[in-house]
Structure formats: structure tokens, C-alpha cells
A and B are shown apart, each in its own frame.
Chain A
């Protein structure tokens, strides 16, 4: 009898806990997705990694990489290739303060996740390896948006071709984005629902 009572109590309590967990979980999901049409964006004139006038590895803000609820942040670096100088010694690819090797290039890479791929454009001139352009591509399966490369590429050191972007295909559009809450510069902003696609092309025929 005592045994049955204990078992009933246990089942009762378990049921309550399960219900509570379900309610809390649903609430959390609802809260996270309460504004599922809203998008978050980085204001480039506020983010310390992007805005002009802030330089230096010690100033890099890594909140976008560290605060996102996703295991690998929804914020990633993007290289806008038409703006890139395709430099041989790219300060976003190399740690330009590391020791210079016998080939005249810095010996260390900047990206802590080795997420930048450097590919020569055309054949390398064996007599003058500096005589070449390189394409720099971000491996978005490795990048976590830590912002180091963005800080180094920005004007005046680089051409500012690498920037941080919220990947809308990955972002969960949390109602209370944890990056927005942590951002020290109020640079992580809600940009509202994405507009519905136009039904008719502007200026097109009816």
C-alpha cells in the first residue's frame, strides 16, 4: 500500500513536472518566435568591428560570436569580392604582426578558426611570388562572426570589403536576441518584418 502510494505520488509529480516543462518550453518557443517575421541586422556605423575610426586587435568585439543562442553564431563574415584588393599580404588573412617567414610572408594566420581561404588568381610567378592577386573566401561553415578579420580589413588598413552580416537563413529571429542584449554599442537592431514580395513589378505592365 505504502509502495503504491509512493508510486502514485511519483507519477502525479512527474506528470506535473512534464506539464510544467511543456508549458515553459512552449512559452519559450512562443517567446522566441513571437515576432518570427522580424529580422535583426547590424548597424555598420555603430558596430565597433565595422565602423571607421576604431582599429586594433584589442578593440575587437566578439559578442556576436559568443552570445548567439546557436552553437555557431548566425552572424558570419562576408567578403564583398568586387571591393577586395586581392592583396598578396591580406591583413585579414595573415596575422601581419607575426614573424615574417623566408618567403617574405607572415607566418601566422589571423582567423582563429582558419575560416578564410586564400586562392591565387592565375599562375604564381616563380621569380616574383608577390606578383600575384589572391581571392579570399570565407568558409561559412567555420566562421563564427568573431569580427577579427573585419577589424583588420577596414579602411584605412584595408578596403573594408569584409563585413559582418546576420545570416537570415540561419537566424532564429528570437524575440529577445541575446546578441542585441549584449551588444555594447546598440548596433544590433531589429529591422522589422521583411516586406512581402511585390505583387507587380513597379513600372511594369498591368
Chain B
């Protein structure tokens, strides 16, 4: 497999499809629409890359997940469910427990909330707190020197996927919150390994169940099979060398979207067979 760069969307600026200050998170809906969260708004793009909508958020958002016809947006101390035009449907307000929500993953009535302030994962069911996740496997909490804890839901295996940067691995939790698998190790020369002090920085999953892991210094998106075999890596010059904590999302046609935190862009790749 390989990543082929298709196009660059958005960027930093005043144009309608751009973000002025920051772009923080991406999600792809079932109809392959891309939602990009940044500044204090959400912008949506068609799979051809055209801006098709925009709405404001009540506060600065740090994470976003799509589920059916709704979006979940992680903020400071809360997660808000909105429709695709921004109308609020529900909210989990839990400022006593939650800090900055930098990751959110939805599985039916369950919501896994990644909290970068407390370096912890919280599982909510039907909007109510159910339990902490990952504490048994990680007795010192999640080690995230980069300041971001991410989460994604893999529909194929019905598990949550989490990047654990300082342990150089991807962890997988079932819907009950139990650790069921992990893969990854430290290394610099083998592309299957994660280098530096704290990689992978974030994680995502394609609808086909391919795991996406982002790395900083130098920045990449890497693709792995469900059981952790390395498949492909984005080209060396795809991102600004100082980019990090890239948000990542993918659609049904194998398009992979990843943010560049320095340029404020969304880089679009096609994940294809190596022969194509």
C-alpha cells in the first residue's frame, strides 16, 4: 500500500474555507463529508474538497467525531452533540471530571472521551459517566508530553483505538473499556516502529479498519493493518517539518485527511495499492 497526495484544503487565512488561528480536529461522516474543527467553528467539505457548510461553536473545540447524522465536539469540560448545521442536540457537562477534551469516539450509546488535562479516558453511556478506561494497563495515566490524547472508534472490530505516545504504541479497548490489544515499539530505522520521545501522537481508523497513526519530528501518517502490520507512510515532504499532533480521518473511498498544524492546512491522500 502507499499514500498518494491528492490535494491541499483550507490553510491559514481569512478566506471562507480557511482558519485564522488554528485547526484542531477532523471527522468524516457516513456520507463522506469532511468536518474540520478550528478557531470557534466547524467547516464542512465535500469529498471533492469544496466548502459546503460552516457553523460556529459555543466555545473553542479540541476534538470532533461523526456518528450517523450528528457530530460530537469535545471542549473544555464538556462534549456537545450537534447536527450537521450546528443545532445542539445534547451535551455532557462534566467540568469536575473533564479538562480539555482532545479526543472523542462514538460507538452507539457509548462515548469515549480523551481528556488531555487529566491524561485519562472516560467512558460515558447514554450521556452518563460509566467508568475510567485504561487505568489498569497504565497505572501512571496516559503519558502524553505532546499535550494531546486522541481516540477513534473502529467499526470493524467494535473497539476504541487510542495512541499512547510515550509508550510508543497503539492501544485497543473493547466497548466495555477493557484493554484487548496493543501494538508498536520504539525504533528509528524501521518504519513500523515509532521514533523520538513520544510517538504516535494521534490515532484514527479508516472505515475498512486500517489503523492510522501520526508521528512528529518528522511528521508522518502511518497506516497499519488491524493487527499492527505496517502498510504505508505519507511522503517525507507532505507536511511542514515542525507540524505535530495532526488530526486524522478517513472516508470509505480510501481518502485520508490529515491536518498540518503549522500551515493550517488539510492534506488529502489516497491510500492505494502500491501498484497504483
Contact = CB atoms under 8 A, between A and B. Distances in A.
Contacts of B140: 131-133
A96 interface: yes
A88 B166 contact: yes
B245 to A, nearest CB: 9
Given A85-B166, A96-B188, A130-B168, A156 B197 contact: no
Nearest to B169: A130
B20 to A, nearest CB: 21
Nearest to A99: B189
Contact of A156 (B138, B187, B242): B242
A85 B185 contact: no
Interface of B: 138-140, 143, 145, 166-168, 185-188, 195-198, 216-217, 219, 241-244
A55 B218 CA distance: 10
Contacts of B243: 156
Contacts of A157: 196-197, 216-217
A90 B197 contact: yes
A87 interface: yes
Most chain A beta-carbon contacts within 10 A, residue among B138, B143, B168, B219 = B143
B197 A97 contact: no
B216 to A, nearest CB: 5
A157 B145 CA distance: 10
A159 to B, nearest CB: 6
Q: How large is the interface on A (under 10, 10 to 19, 20 to 34, 35 or more residues)?
A: 20 to 34
Contacts of B188: 96-97
A126 B216 CA distance: 29
Interface in A70-103: 85-91, 96-97, 100
A89 B186 contact: yes
A125 interface: yes
A189 interface: no
A156 B243 CA distance: 7
B186 A104 contact: yes
Q: Is the interface of B mostly helix, strand, loop or mixed?
A: loop
A53 B140 CA distance: 32
B202 to A, nearest CB: 13
Interface string A154-181: 0111110000000000000000000000
A169 to B, nearest CB: 31
Contacts of B216: 156-157
Given A55-B217, A156-B243, A158-B145, 20 more contacts: A53-B241, A55-B241, A85-B143, A85-B198, A87-B198, A89-B166, A89-B186, A90-B197, A96-B196, A96-B197, A106-B186, A125-B139, A130-B168, A131-B138, A131-B140, A132-B140, A156-B219, A157-B197, A157-B217, A159-B145
Interface of A: 52-53, 55, 85-91, 96-97, 100, 104-106, 125, 128, 130-133, 155-159
Contacts of B139: 125, 131
Contacts of A96: 188, 195-197
Nearest to B189: A97
Nearest to A53: B242
Contacts of B166: 85, 87-89, 130
B196 A100 contact: no
B128 to A, nearest CB: 30
Contacts of A87: 143, 145, 166, 197-198
A195 B196 CA distance: 42
B116 to A, nearest CB: 13
A155 B242 contact: yes
A107 to B, nearest CB: 12
Nearest to B216: A156
Given A97-B188, A125-B139, A91 B241 contact: no
B244 A156 contact: yes
29 contacts: A55-B241, A85-B145, A85-B166, A85-B197, A85-B198, A87-B166, A88-B143, A88-B197, A89-B168, A89-B196, A90-B197, A91-B197, A100-B186, A100-B187, A105-B186, A106-B186, A125-B139, A128-B167, A130-B166, A130-B167, A131-B140, A133-B140, A133-B143, A155-B242, A155-B244, A156-B219, A156-B243, A157-B197, A158-B145
